[in-house]
Amino acid sequence: MSQEHLTCGVVKRRTQLADGRELIYYDDPDTTLPPERAADARSMPPRPATAEMRQDVLTGDWISVAAARQNRAFLPPAHLDPLAPTTPENPSEIPDQYDVAVFENRSPSFGPELDDADAAVRLADLRDVGYERRRPAVGRTEVVCFSPEHEGSFGTQTETRARTVIEAWADRTAELSRLPGIQQVFPFENRGQAIGVTLHHPHGQIYAYPYVTPRTERLLASLDRLGPDLFASILERERAGERVVLQGEHWTAFVPFAARWPIEVHMLPHRHAADFAETSPAERDELARLYLQLLRGVDAIYPTPTPYIAAWHQAPVHTHRDSARLMLQLTSPRRAEDRLKFLAGSEAAMGAWIADIPPENAAELIRKGIERA
């Protein structure tokens, strides 16, 4: 097992699972765990073949058809948690105790194959449109376990643990961006059954896509039209307005001017950073504190925890690195204590959104939640 010392005292330990998938431990700076970890003793079937992507000729979007995902675990009991450390009764995905662990998904949406074609040629091919186009869904899909505990979320972690996870995001962003064929790296957390979560275990995922995602393509079009200072201008306008919910020396969180969701918060670093790998240790330190405040505040809006998607948008690997900025977009369909916003006809079919709550009112609601938390 190899090891590497990262910033803020985090130690990275790299090994493999029984079927050859990569497993990486990220130890807290104050960890009580020993340096050596048990090997994966399971006897496992071969990894599934790389999925196929098909192009929607009407939009140009690529759809990964990953049939192996049908077999993934669905809300197992605590004693069969596949993300908990292995026990004799539960031969899980992680063979030993850990603080934070990252491993390749057993049922990936992208990969395990990679593509060593020229990045520019590959991107041009994927942006083209035609009938019945198919490509292998190359790339990488990883699971990020925030804690060995069975239940929780990012917001239930300590500040030290949050900092370790952020360090893991930065390290994985750098490594995945260097893999052949990767065009964009996307860390995210789905929280709550209302979002579609199939495991209660506190965890997130990282997708390393073989293309630039549709949402990001639209962002790049805005950058090309409005100029490379787009994010700086957004931040300047929001910090001067009434929708800021949280800010520090390095980061500001705000409800955007045209929020789609009942609860929607964006967070930007004050200086340009294309992705987590470009953030400084000081920025990561402050983010660990502010991000926990934000998530706990969102949970304190109502008496029960709030379902959400925490999406960390990062610049594509090979384009717009000097203008597309790292950005959190946290969204929740919760429009009242006992009501959710479902995407029905206009939103789901036409992509034409109707907001239920004025963004200024939502910002006040979130600020009160942060005060209570």
3-state secondary structure 43-80: CCCCCCCCCEEEECCCCCCEEEECHHHHHCCCCCCHHH
Q: Is 190 helix (H, G, I), strand (E, B) or coil?
A: strand
Q: Max CA-CA distance within the chain?
A: 59
C-beta neighbour count of 163 within 10 angstroms = 26
- Active-site annotation holder among 79, 150, 200, 203: 203
Residues 147, 157: Cα–Cα separation, whole Å: 8
C-beta neighbour count of 165 within 10 angstroms = 28
- Measured in whole angstroms, how far is the alpha carbon of residue 17 from the centre of its chain? 23
Residues 94, 314: Cα–Cα separation, whole Å: 28
Q: Which amino acid is at 249?
A: E
- Told to judge if 203 belongs to the known catalytic residues of this protein, a careful annotator would answer yes
CA dihedral 350, 352, 357, 360 (to 10 degrees): 150
Residues 188, 202: Cα–Cα separation, whole Å: 12
Length of the chain counted residue by residue: 373
Residues 215, 109: Cα–Cα separation, whole Å: 18
Answer yes or no: are the C-beta atoms of 121 and 111 closer than 8 Å: no
Q: Which residues are catalytic?
A: 203
